[in-house]
Amino acid sequence: MLNPHRFFDPEPTVRKIASELYDGIKNLPIVSPHGHTEPSWFSDNQPFPDPTELILIPDHYIFRMLYSQGISLEALGIPTRDGTKTTDDRRASWQIFADHYYLFAGTPTGAWLDHEFTEVFGVEEKFNSDTAQRIYDQIASKLAQPDFLPRAMFDRFNIEVLTTTDPAESTLAAHRQIRESDWNGRIIPCFRPDGVIDFTQPEWQENINKLSDVTGIAIHSYSGFIRALELQRSFFREMGAVSSDHGVESPFTQRLSDNEAEQLFQRALGGKATATDAVNFTAHMLMEMARMSCEDGLVMQIHAGSFRGHNQFITQRFGRDKGCDIPMQTEYTRNLHALLNNYGNHPNFRLIIFTLDESTYSRELAPLAGHYPALLLGPPWWFHDSVEGMTRFRQRVTETAGIYNTVGFNDDTRAFPSIPARHDLARRIDCNFLAGQVARHIIDIDDAHRMARELTYDLVKNGYRL
Amino acid sequence: MLNPHRFFDPEPTVRKIASELYDGIKNLPIVSPHGHTEPSWFSDNQPFPDPTELILIPDHYIFRMLYSQGISLEALGIPTRDGTKTTDDRRASWQIFADHYYLFAGTPTGAWLDHEFTEVFGVEEKFNSDTAQRIYDQIASKLAQPDFLPRAMFDRFNIEVLTTTDPAESTLAAHRQIRESDWNGRIIPCFRPDGVIDFTQPEWQENINKLSDVTGIAIHSYSGFIRALELQRSFFREMGAVSSDHGVESPFTQRLSDNEAEQLFQRALGGKATATDAVNFTAHMLMEMARMSCEDGLVMQIHAGSFRGHNQFITQRFGRDKGCDIPMQTEYTRNLHALLNNYGNHPNFRLIIFTLDESTYSRELAPLAGHYPALLLGPPWWFHDSVEGMTRFRQRVTETAGIYNTVGFNDDTRAFPSIPARHDLARRIDCNFLAGQVARHIIDIDDAHRMARELTYDLVKNGYRL
Amino acid sequence: MLNPHRFFDPEPTVRKIASELYDGIKNLPIVSPHGHTEPSWFSDNQPFPDPTELILIPDHYIFRMLYSQGISLEALGIPTRDGTKTTDDRRASWQIFADHYYLFAGTPTGAWLDHEFTEVFGVEEKFNSDTAQRIYDQIASKLAQPDFLPRAMFDRFNIEVLTTTDPAESTLAAHRQIRESDWNGRIIPCFRPDGVIDFTQPEWQENINKLSDVTGIAIHSYSGFIRALELQRSFFREMGAVSSDHGVESPFTQRLSDNEAEQLFQRALGGKATATDAVNFTAHMLMEMARMSCEDGLVMQIHAGSFRGHNQFITQRFGRDKGCDIPMQTEYTRNLHALLNNYGNHPNFRLIIFTLDESTYSRELAPLAGHYPALLLGPPWWFHDSVEGMTRFRQRVTETAGIYNTVGFNDDTRAFPSIPARHDLARRIDCNFLAGQVARHIIDIDDAHRMARELTYDLVKNGYRL
């Protein structure tokens, strides 16, 4: 069902070169340095419950589109925050999904799902109203087989490294279990301290308490907070972590004096921090995180520019990550000035930037990455992880920053069985991009083969110090 | 003269598919849900006076380009606000237009005019200095024929619905005449209240007076103003309207208390409203318009981001809509937050957004439309209604929002005989876009045929509740 | 080694047309109306010292990329501000460059260098670690030949006009020498007064002193400053200048009263001007420069939106123009409002705008240029002077502004032997763009031939009044 030349340019010369390049790299192992799978899937290694719970319910890319066309999240079985019942008729939710699968025509979600159905679960029919229940049965029966346990899929997907995203206050219990097991899959944590840095998060105090507990440092001051973070970073590193990650509305950076930082932190502990305090503290903490990275070598990632929970009705009822995070204009040149001037020339520092604002690719990010030794660009993120989005990224970034200031692909997913689909799509688009350059005699075919391998494998391993 | 494969990708595979898709939809009726034709053309059904008055004088797309190259609007016969004489030598103006027709090479105006000359008026020569007067004669003689009366052209163009744009204070006299005539052409009004909402408009008080007159409500208060608007919306609906339209510099939305709104309104009545008052009142009135839409079902349109009358010299001498409205950066994620949180989940609300800031397509608008059930995206507007502009729109919107959160095409024109040209161009570009997806195996040919029909006909009818 | 069809679309129909168009214009003379070559090269006409000093050391496009991958500027022999020694082993620096030449795959710098090596210096091998020293020898031996003296290269490159960039306070000594020599190469200055307008520049007072010296006007007041500028503009015009140029962070324009301007200027003379003063004075001086242009006919250029010297470490050690100037979001619609309303309709005024913010092409700049008679758009600047960058420019500008509101190509370079490479690349991309339009039947082949010539030769000569 899947065309072997899918996503390649239809022009025969380009297609032929793309196909040749793709053949050279398609079997390289998957390196996944940033994502949102659950480590417990791999520590517990229990069967995934059913197709709806595996594919539909965790994937806000899917249900946001259904919601946009008037389908309630209740009908899809998305769990509520307060436990109010939504449907648990998994087959009925699946049927709604199938009835509206035409909505995904031309979207990356559609392309990934087609791949997943076909390649991962061996489905041979088009997914629609008529085939919905047969396909449900087929996937459900696969999920009951040992070959479809999380570890078996991980091995079959040829994943060399898989990084999860873990709060700063985590005990990394599941990671520890995996490491202590007899299974050799390399699953590593990533240090994500947003929940203890961002005063505006409702669970901030609770997260601080957990951080106190897990570190044994009673956090009553800014300096204690910093010590606790340093201790947890060190613990994460022992558990295999190579990176930290920071989700921020704005990439604004500035250094406060210790005294100013302490004052802000005390106001937060007293429940009196303002929105401006939160902005200033986050800007300062990005500087602190960069400082720590220079010292401990964790690669620092910044994911900036998302307005989280734009639809309050959805967020209040269903919680975070429910498909209503909306990108905003984002500025990097001025906002990163303080951070890059302090750490951008440091030989031990590495910063990977992600954006949802494509207008910054050629205007700000490629020029910054094409100058600062510490700065690398993450791949097209979220809405832009798509055929056109990846193409635009390469077209707008490569001429100024080359490919060596980028870090290959991130799948960034909580949809585990979509991982091979996402990497395959990215590999095809990169090969197609290079093929277009070969066909226009901008690079030669030898360069292109080398670059295809770099984009698929070497850049991510080097970029993330894996 | 017109190539049957014009605007299609030259790559033979894509071209063949595009051509096949286009053949399947090219004869579908035209649905024109937003535009600026005069209803009086169709109520009076008088011959258009001459080629210059029909084609050149009303079309600011044309004369702005001539002006940019140093040709005065006086020489083109554009009427002045104060009645100061400009040329009435229509043939001389036409000659200037022809002498400079090369300026339009590669522009949508050029493409539309080529179509209009050839397909509507049967011209078989290239338009230039030499052929100018012969072509003038040819068109003039056509315009004298019954087949070229407004109603006859409407019927021949295969227009199913044509929407005009009418101020809130309109009596809709021409619309009434059309409805009461024996002619069956469906021409409907659209409720556009900018002139009574925007305090900064010089005729604001005059428009309020007209609104009082037409509704019989003496408008001395905000509450009276709201009642008058509700009454006129109801009248517009009786006269066939399905939509309202709102032209704003910024899509900023916020709800004021009734008391605050009343204070602003009183300041405006007293001639003392500030620019900030006007901004705040407009932001509030967008909320009120959304509330009314939830109640009466009129589809709400917002056209945001134009700096109207940028060239004061032109505006003072010739008035509005004279080719010097210039787009500005526009922000939607924060600005629409209040409106979408209040009404974006409402089952009876429908909001169609238009932008002049293409950087918002993938960053803000597609993510918003791909989540909120009430939100749909209007087609590429104004400067972006073009081969490349429409292509960029599809490339940047479809992957995140699909096609079902969009509403097909708007011709948005005051150049009546360009309507078939504009729709034909849009249909070709949509088919070409879909063909590219088929050729890259992103969608299959059956999907593409269905989507071509949706983009041409079904989405606009559903989106506008026609 | 260079493919004759390089940079053309691989689709055979488009490629054939592109090739035909290119053949028609490839031998037209080079007109270079804006750049950064040294006039002293041509007045002295001495051999260029060696390949590293000719090609690597002046070219921040090259060494910024090497720096981004951790290579120190010291190792490349970039001179420091304070004269601290860096390497003078030119062969070692050249070797580092060659070892990392793979970084430039897919960049315009790579494309230009390939052209330069092959076409200018007759190199027949790929540049890499193995060939580095052989190629060094080959270029070095060429540079010792009379054929490779600056004037000989200028003549061989078929340059009709070459414009340098000269500070307002310059004596234009080298230009005078060239004019008084028996050589006929047309090298003309451009009036660039940033150094005496921008209070924030560290050498501002020194520059004012020089301006006093060169004009014989003791500058103690704003009015004296204005007289001195007028005098120098007149002197530049006598020396062949046709244009002024203005590098500003923001294109903000506003007119101050003479009194306000005097106050700001006095604060600056007293060393007490604030950052805001500098912004306001620059905005006012852009108005003054426009006024003078109306009077003396110099074409005014604005290059806006670069954050100069973003990396303070580099700037402090190595000075300006060292590869760490980073673009910023830039706004034109509001910022140019004052200037365009005062001068945009003036028949003697001509303003050419350059941007680093591509999001403004279709949103602001093309609509402005497609209306105001005085406004023309400069070609894609700096990072955007590339295959993809030039393609985006044409795709986003042409439909709204046509080609006649643009001014052909600028090489904007301090890398003299790259000039033919840069013009050749631009010509190829323009022909390819036109070929795509012919193949899609948007324009016909006759139009395309005419437009290719306009884009290459006529528009730049007319636009710059050459």
Query: How many domains would you assign to chain B?
Result: 2
Interval A198-253: pLDDT, tens: 999 999 999 999 999 999 999 999 999 999 999 999 999 999 999 999 999 999 99
Q: Which chain C residues contact residue A14 at CB under 8 A?
A: 10
Apex CA C416: angle with CA C413 and CA C420, to 5°? 90
List, for residues C102-140, the tens digit of each pLDDT value: 999 999 999 999 999 999 999 999 999 999 999 999 999
Residue A62 lies in a domain: yes
Fill in the DSSP letter of residue C247: E
Is A345's CB within 8 Å of C310's CB?
no
Residues from chain C that touch A13, judged by Cβ atoms under 8 A, are: 10
Alpha-helical (H) ranges within A116-243 are: 132-143, 150-156, 173-180, 194-197, 204-215, 222-238
**Minimal Cβ distance to B331: which of A69, A104, A329:** A329
- Asked whether the beta carbons of residue A440 and residue C7 sit closer than 8 angstroms, the reply is yes
Closest approach of C12 to chain B, Cα-based (Å) = 8
Which among B228, B222, B236, B223 is positioned nearest to B210, based on CA atoms?
Answer: B228
Of the residues B145, B167, B183, which one is the last residue of a structural domain? B145
State the sign of the Cα–Cα–Cα–Cα dihedral B363, B367, B369, B370.
positive
CB pair distance less than 8 Å for B105 and C362: no
List the strands of the sheet with C166-167, edge to edge.
Answer: C166-167, C191-192, C243-248, C299-304, C351-355, C375-377
Total-model pTM: 0.98
Rg for chain C (alpha carbons), in Å?
A: 22
User: Which subunits sit against C, judged by 3+ Cβ pairs under 8 A?
Assistant: A, B
Query: How many Cβ pairs closer than 8 A exist between chain B and C?
Result: 126
Q: How far is CA C382 from the centre of its chain?
A: 8
Interchain CB distance below 8 Å, C359 and B359: yes
Count chain A–chain C contacts defined by CB atoms under 8 A.
Answer: 126
CA pair distance C256, C289, nearest whole angstrom: 13
Which of B170, B169, B214, B168 shows the shortest CA–CA distance to B39? B170
| Whether B17 and B73 share a structural domain | no
In a domain? residue C155 = yes
- Would the CB atoms of A359 and B359 count as touching at under 8 Å? yes
Residue of C102, C312, C384 lying closest to A341 (CB–CB) = C312
The yes-or-no verdict on residue C435 having pLDDT over 90 is: yes
A158: left (phi over 0), alpha (psi -120 to 50) or beta: left
pLDDT tens-digit series, residues C222-280: 999 999 999 999 999 999 999 999 999 999 999 999 999 999 999 999 999 999 999 99
Cβ of A439 within 8 Å of Cβ of C103? The answer is no
Q: How does B375-397 read in b/e, with b if 16+ C-beta sit within 10 Å?
A: bbbbbbbbbbbbbbbbbbbbbbb
The answer to whether the CB atoms of C440 and B7 lie below 8 A apart is yes
Let me know if residue C6 belongs to a domain: no
Q: Copy the structure tokens of residue C332.
A: 């034109």
Q: Is C194 helix (H, G, I), strand (E, B) or coil?
A: helix
Q: How far apart are CA B157 and CA A226, in angstroms?
A: 72
Q: Residue B443 and residue A105: Cβ atoms within 8 Å?
A: yes
Residues of C in contact with A402 (CB under 8 A): 65, 103-107
- Looking up tokens 């526009």 gives B330
The mean pLDDT of C144-149, rounded to a whole number, is 98
Mean pLDDT of C443-451: 98
Q: Do B400 and A387 touch (CB under 8 A)?
A: no
Q: Render the burial of B150-184: b for 16+ CB within 10 Å, e for the rest.
A: bbebbeebebebbbbbbbbbbebebbebbbeeeee
Chain C residues in contact with A333 by the CB 8 A cut-off are 307, 310, 326-328
- B253-to-B225, B248, C46 alpha-carbon distances in Å: 19, 11, 66
B140/B157 same-domain check:
no
Task: Answer yes or no: do C347 and B70 touch at CB < 8 A.
Answer: yes
Largest pairwise CA distance in chain B: 66
Q: Which residues pair with C358 in a beta bridge?
A: none
Q: Give the other-Cβ count within 10 Å of C271's Cβ.
A: 9
B366: alpha, beta or left? (left if phi > 0; alpha if psi -120 to 50): alpha
pLDDT of residue C418: 97
Does one domain contain both C55 and C91?
A: yes
CATH of the domain at B302: 3.20.20.140
Residue A219, token pair as written in the block: 């956090």
Is residue B397 domain-shared with residue B364, that is, in the same domain?
A: yes
Across B50-90, the runs of DSSP E, i.e. the strands, are none
Contact partners for chain B, using 3 or more CB pairs closer than 8 A, are A, C
Q: How far is C230 from chain B (nearest CA, A)?
A: 27
DSSP string, B232-253: HHHHHHHTT--EEEEEESS---
Span B120-177, pLDDT tens digits: 999 999 999 999 999 999 999 999 999 999 999 999 999 999 999 999 999 999 999 9
Q: Are C417 and C120 in contact (CB under 8 A)?
A: yes
CA of B373, closest CA in chain C: separation in Å? Answer: 28
**Given this model, what pLDDT does residue A1 score?**
82
Query: Chain A: which residues have CB within 8 Å of chain C?
Result: 11, 13-14, 331, 333-334, 337, 340-341, 344-345, 347, 359, 362-364, 366-373, 375, 395-396, 398-405, 436-437, 439-443, 447, 450-451
Please write the tens of the pLDDT for every residue from B184-210.
999 999 999 999 999 999 999 999 999
Note whether ipTM > 0.90 here: yes
Domain ends where: B145, B180, B214? B145
CATH number at residue C132: 1.10.2020.10
Coil/strand/helix, residue A124:
coil
H-type alpha helices, A239-336: 258-269, 275-296, 312-318
- A276 and A216 within one domain: yes
In a domain, B7, yes or no: no
Residue A161, SS3?
A: strand
B84 and B209, same domain (yes or no):
no
Q: Which residues of chain A have pLDDT under 50?
A: none
Mutate to test the interface with C, among B125, B315, B326, B360 (most CBs of C within 10 A): B326
Percent of chain C with pLDDT over 90: 100
pLDDT band for C1, please (50, 70, 90 cuts).
confident
The owner of tokens 């069967």 is A47
Nearest to A373 among C69, C107, C329 (CB): C69
Same domain, B140 and B153: no
Within 8 A of A2 by CB-CB distance, chain B residues are 441
Contact at CB, B105 and C400, closer than 8 angstroms = no
Q: Which of C426, C438, C418 is nearest to C391 (CA)?
A: C426
Which of B359, B400, B438 is most worth mutating to test chain A (most A CB atoms within 10 A of its CB)?
A: B400
**Residue C298 within a domain:** yes
Q: Are residues C115 and C255 both part of a single domain?
A: no
Question: C442 to chain B: nearest residue by CA?
Answer: B106
Q: Which residues contact C54 (CB under 8 A, 6 or more apart)?
A: C48, C139, C143, C416, C417
Task: Please tell me which of the candidates A402, A441, A443 has its beta carbon nearest to residue C65.
Answer: A402
Mutation for testing the C interface, residue in B13, B19, B22, B107 having most C CBs under 10 Å: B107
User: By CA distance, what is B13's nearest residue in C?
Assistant: C11
Integer angstrom CA distances of residue B147 from B29, B55, C34, C460:
19, 17, 56, 48
Contact: B6, C362; criterion CB under 8 Å: no
Residue that finishes a domain, picked among C105, C129, C148? C148
Closest residue in chain B to residue C403, using alpha carbons only: B103
How many Å from the N-terminal Cα to the C-terminal Cα in chain B? 36
Average pLDDT value over all residues in chain A: 98
Domain-located, residue B1: no
Asked whether residue B308 falls in the same domain as residue B331, the answer is yes
Write down the pLDDT at residue A66: 98
Taking each continuous run of H as one helix and of E as one strand, the counts in chain A are 23, 11
Residues of B in Cβ contact (< 8 Å) with A111? 442
Residues B278 and B356 reside in one and the same domain: yes
Domain assignment of residue B241, yes or no: yes
Q: In chain C, whose CA is at the least distance from the CA of B100?
A: C404
Assigned token pair, B88:
């009435």
Same domain, A71 and A178: no
* A112 and A177 fall within a common domain: no
* Cβ–Cβ below 8 Å for B367 and A102: no
Residue B169: partners with Cβ closer than 8 Å, 6 or more residues away: B195, B196, B207, B210, B211, B213, B214, B232
Provide the shortest C-alpha distance from residue A328 to chain B (in Å).
6
Mean pLDDT score of chain B? 98
Range of the domain at C120: 48-148
- CB distance A111–B442 less than 8 Å? yes
Confidence class for position C348, pLDDT limits 50, 70, 90: very high
Best probe of the C interface among B19, B64, B68, by most C CBs < 10 A, is B68
- Please tell me whether residue C435 adopts helix, strand or coil conformation: helix
Q: Nearest CA to CA, how far is A6 from chain B (Å)?
A: 5
The distance of B400 to chain A (nearest Cα, Å) reads: 6
Nearest CA-CA distance, residue C347 and chain A, Å: 34
Is residue B162 domain-resident? yes
The identity of residue C385, as a single letter, is D
